Amino acid sequence: SNKSKVTVVGSGNWGSVAAKLIASNALKLPSFHDEVRMWVFEETLSNGEKLSEVINQTNENVKYLPGVKLGKNVVADPDLEHAVRDANMLVFVTPHQFMEGICKRLVGKIKKEAEAISLIKGMEVKMEGPCMISTLISEKLGINCCVLMGANIANEIAEEKFSEATVGYRGNKEIADRWVQLFNHPYFIVSAVQDVEGVELCGTLKNVVAIAAGFVDGLEMGNNTKAAIMRIGLREMKAFSKLLFSSVNDSTFFESCGVADIITTCLGGRNRKCAEAFARHGGKRTFDELEAEMLQGQKLQGVSTAKEVYEVLRHRGWLELFPLFTTVHEICSGRLPPSAIVETVK
Ligand code: NAD
Ligand code: 13P
């Protein structure tokens, strides 16, 4: 048949919610196979059971999304190659630091005509310069890759509360429309814009701003200060994106992936939460410790993204142009105290 088979590569907090959303649509839409495969990075739970087996028995990701049924048509698969083998549509959603290794393992293992989309917020920095995750996927696997980003705190979407998202695509509107079809839902309204780099950089860079907002919360500086940090952060996001890719559109920053994601992440995200704790402890506890303690296996993207952005800025001689981005990294790495976040952007 010519029904599309979808595989979700990743099964963390957002990965599990994305699988649930897609599975609900796949059941309703005749042009998709009912079954949605979800690759699970296998782990043994504290009771000795395997996570993938528990997901298939209970229909719940008990570790990363407890209490939420994924839908009976979600099948957890711990074998990466097997999970992607028959897929026409690949949805990538893992913490960004694991994608290079995953891509290496997938070379030669996927269908040639497969289409991909990345829900991953983050980037890699190489000798040659920054590499967005959708580009990594595209180049390593030789396939087209769209992105989906937005104001999307996974636990809220799991409860089917209304939100919006943005698909970024390169040239092919038909493929973008296919992704919109797969994700769009009455509680999840998706629009597509022809600006892959802009959408992906919004999703990536807002995590750095969220760390800054968390510092402000930890220092109890109040709402005006936090709003100022969000505004300055958004301005740096736009300037940085346009310096890297002159094609980036101003209007992208007004989509869900831009201003809306800044707001939700700075109010309710994990990066914000851990950065608040970091500032409360006066920088005396590391982010690695706080992440392990507060997030139970979920991963922060903002701290490593701040380092990656810093490397790009330093390499290109742009550090002074981006005081907020620069200072976030200097605070995370212990070179400046959390209070520097407001001092340096004045
Ligand atoms: P997560 O933060 O829950 O991370 C945990 C996942 O990482 C688990 O599936 C775990 O198995 C996996 N993992 C751990 N070690 C691994 C390894 N060595 N190799 C491969 N996988 C390993 O993940 P998430 O929330 O699904 O986030 C994925 C991406 O989605 C990130 O880029 C994040 O920024 C983005 N995102 C998250 C949310 C959210 O609210 N959680 C919302 C929007 C976007
Ligand atoms: P955190 O990773 O900071 O929780 O942000 C989630 C997110 O990307 C919301 O859109």
- Residue 258 CB less than 6 A away from ligand 2: no
- Residue 204 CB less than 6 A away from ligand 1: no
CA of 222 to the centre of ligand 1 (A): 30
Query: Does residue 336 have a pLDDT over 70?
Result: yes
- Residue 8 CB less than 6 A away from ligand 2: no
- Residue 39 CB less than 6 A away from ligand 1: no
The string of pLDDT tens digits covering residues 110-125 is 999 999 999 999 999 8
CA of 233 to the centre of ligand 2 (A): 16
How large is the C-alpha radius of gyration of the chain? 19
* Whole-number pLDDT of residue 201: 98
Give the residue carrying structure tokens 């952060």: 233
Query: Does residue 265 have a pLDDT over 80?
Result: yes
Q: Indicate the average pLDDT of the chain.
A: 97
| Alpha-carbon span 308 to 135, nearest angstrom | 16
Instruction: Give the mutation target among 199, 200, 271 for probing the ligand 2 site: most ligand atoms within 8 A of CB.
Output: 271
Q: How would you label 276-312 residue by residue, b for 16+ Cβ within 10 Å and e otherwise?
A: bbbbbeebeeebeebbeeeeeeebbbbbbbbebbbeb
Q: How would you label 30-40 residue by residue, b for 16+ Cβ within 10 Å and e otherwise?
A: eebbebbbbbb
- Residue 261 CB less than 6 A away from ligand 2: yes
Give the residue carrying structure tokens 């992704």: 179
Out of 20, 206, 238, 273, pick the active-site residue.
Answer: 206
CA of 108 to the centre of ligand 1 (A): 24
The string of pLDDT tens digits covering residues 234-249 is 999 999 999 999 999 9
- Give, to the nearest 10 degrees, the angle between helix 323-332 and helix 302-316: 120
The string of pLDDT tens digits covering residues 306-329 is 999 999 999 999 999 999 999 999
Q: Are the C-beta atoms of residues 172 and 138 closer than 8 Å to each other?
A: no
Which atom belonging to ligand 1 lies closest to the Cα atom of 120? 32
- The residue contributing the CA closest to ligand 1 atom 6 is 12
Of 92, 120, 85, 102, which is closest to residue 5 (Cα–Cα)? Answer: 85
Query: For residue 1, what pLDDT band results from cuts at 50, 70 and 90?
Result: low
